[in-house]
Amino acid sequence: MSFFRKKLGRVGERAAARHLKSNGYRILARNFACPVGELDLVCYHDGAIVFVEVKTRQHDAETDPEENITRAKRRKLELTARAWLASHREPDCAYRFDAVSVIVPTNGSPHVRHIVDAFEPLR
């Protein structure tokens, strides 16, 4: 991954975390990684663990960032979320998957769109 894409991703994740915190979410983990995959943000909100996939693009992107959460990516997120739950001894708690789309313009503040319960686990 190029330096620019990594930097853009970090900008998006910071913007997403700020947005979530301002809406009452508590950040539990950032960039949780295990052999199965990585979770951008793990939060707690309204009695549930929320696994958040952050997708960031420049202002001139042709597609919405969350359109890149493919079936394969969803499966990987689900397996990684289960690993997080097991490692934190919370296998039976309520959880969901949210997506945060961040568009970063050349000038100005990032535009953040939060999609609650963006997708169901594939099982």
The tens digit of pLDDT for each residue in 62-107 reads 666 567 788 899 999 999 999 999 998 876 789 999 999 999 888 8
* Neighbouring-strand partners of residue 70: none
Mean of all residue pLDDT scores within the chain: 88
SS3 106: coil
CA 118 to CA 55: how far, in whole Å? Answer: 12
Q: Which domains does the chain have, with CATH numbers?
A: 3-119 (3.40.1350.10)
Q: What is the pLDDT of residue 30?
A: 96
CA 68 to CA 91: how far, in whole Å? Answer: 28
Task: Say yes or no to pLDDT of 58 above 70.
Answer: yes
